[in-house]
Structures are given as C-alpha cells and as structure tokens.
Structure 1
Amino acid sequence: MSDALTQIVYISSAEHPFTDDELEKMLAAIRMKNEKANVTGMLLYKDGDFIQVIEGEKDVLEPLFKTICEDHRHYGIVELMRKSIVDRQFKDWSMGFHHLKEDDPRLEGFIRFFDDNPEHEIDPGEALNLLLIFRE
C-alpha cells in the first residue's frame, strides 16, 4: 500500500428518507469498516441529502468510493473533489456525523447544498468548508 493520502468530497440523495434508527445502524457499520481501513471523514445528512468527505490512503479510497457509488441506499452521486493531501482534516473521526435541521445556524450560506435546484452550481471548496464547520 502507498502512504499517499487522498480526500474525496461528494454529494448524493438518499433512496428514501432515513429514520434516526437507520442512520445509527448505517453509521455503526461505516465506522467499524473505516477504523479497520484507517479511513476518516465526515457525513452530513439533511432531508434526504448527503454530503460527505472521506480521507485515507489512495489505494484504500479508490475501491471504497467505487463501493459507495454502487450502494443502493443513495443515488445521484456527484464527486465534487478528489485531491492528494498531506494531512488529514478529519483525523479524529472514523466518520463524524451530523443530522442537520433546517434552523441550524451553521447552515447559513450553505443551504443550497441541500436543495434540489439543478441550477445551483456547487463549489467544491465551499462543500469542504461546510464539512469543516461541523468538524468541531
């Protein structure tokens, strides 16, 4: 395995609105797999939409992202960013998670990431900034 770190940011839509129980079960499985594979990241969920960042060795992330893209629980996967990184930005999280509510003040200026308007252009850097806000 190489030690080159990679970071991937993507958005997608849930196949159906997830219940809190479904989210908890999914996260438990993801965290267990990520810990074994030394993958870190953050997942945000709001009203059936996901935005996620994953970080890890390139040789691990490539097949992982392929598996993510084939997962039937979501669709419309759009890879916003894939880049080499020197240091992890989510190193303390096997998979951090926030179930966002409409009135969360941290969403101010970022709500377009969770709307269904195809006219909204999504800036990859802004997507990463949104995820970083929830890192703390």
Structure 2
Amino acid sequence: MSDTLRQLVYISSAEHPFSELELANMLASIRKNNEKRGITGMLLYKDGDFIQVMEGEEDVIYPLFEVICKDHRHYSIVELMRKSITERQFKNWSMGFHHINNNDPRLAGFNQFFSDDINHQIDPGEALNLLLVFRE
C-alpha cells in the first residue's frame, strides 16, 4: 500500500429507485469490502441520486472508483473532487449512510445537489460540506 491518503467525492444517479432492502444489501456488501481495504466514507441517497465520499490509500481508492464507474446500478457518474489528505474526515465510518427525505433540516442550503437542473454547477467544496453535515 502507498502511504498517501486520498479523498474522492462523486455524484451519480441510480439506475432505478432503490428499495430499503436494496440499499441495506448494497451497504452490507460495501461495508464488508471497505473494512478489508481500509476505506472510510459516507454515502447519501435521495430520490434516486447518490453523493459519496471515499477515503483511503491511493492504490486502493482509484482502482475502486474505476470499478464503481462500471457498476450497472448507477449512471451519470461525475467525479467532483480528488485530493490528498493528511487525515481522514470519516475515520469512524467504513461507509456511513443516510437515506435523505425532503423534510430533513440538514438539507437547508444544499438542495441544489439533488436538483434536476442540468445547468447547475456543483461546487466540490459544498459537496464535501454536505457529506460532513451528515457525518455527525
């Protein structure tokens, strides 16, 4: 393994609306694999859209992201941020998760991430802030 921690943030759209059971099964698999690979992070799901942050060693994170990009369960994958980090921001989560509903007060100021407006530019720093809000 390398000794360089990386953080990667991306968004995508689900191939179909996921049921609670599908989300639970997917998360169980992700968490098991992430624990083996030393990956931490957070996944948010709302109305068929995902936003995820992953943290780990460079030689693990980037190949994993290539696999994620080929996963048939989602499409329109957009990498928002890829950077070196000195410490993990999601160190207590093999993969934290929130299924967000429209009434969640933590969404205040962040609704643009789940908007269908194709002209909206997503700020990578704001994307990370959204994930951090749900970390607590």
Q: What range is the shorter-chain TM-score in?
A: over 0.9
Deviation at 1:57, TM superposition (A): 0.1
Name the % identity: 72
What secondary structure is seen at the aligned counterpart in 2 of 1:36?
Answer: helix
**Structure 2 equivalent of residue 71 of structure 1:** 71
Structure-1 separation of matches of 2:72 and 2:108 = 31
Deviation at 1:66, TM superposition (A): 0.3
Structure-1 separation of matches of 2:115 and 2:47 = 9
2:34 is equivalent to residue 34 of structure 1: yes
Structure-2 separation of matches of 1:97 and 1:59 = 24
Structure-1 separation of matches of 2:19 and 2:28 = 14
1:4-40 alpha-carbon deviations (Å, 9 max, x no partner): 0000000000000000000000000000000000000
Normalization by structure 2: what TM-score? 0.99
What secondary structure is seen at the aligned counterpart in 2 of 1:133?
Answer: helix
Measured on the aligned residues, the alpha-carbon RMSD in Å equals: 0.4
**Structure 2 equivalent of residue 83 of structure 1:** 83
2:62 is equivalent to residue 62 of structure 1: yes
1:53-83 alpha-carbon deviations (Å, 9 max, x no partner): 0000000001100000000000000000000
Number of aligned residues:
136
Structure-1 separation of matches of 2:36 and 2:29 = 11
Amino acid at match of 2:2: S
Moved over 2 A (4+): none
2:98 is equivalent to residue 98 of structure 1: yes
Deviation at 1:3, TM superposition (A): 1.2
Deviation at 1:116, TM superposition (A): 1.3
**Structure 2 equivalent of residue 47 of structure 1:** 47
Normalization by structure 1: what TM-score? 0.99
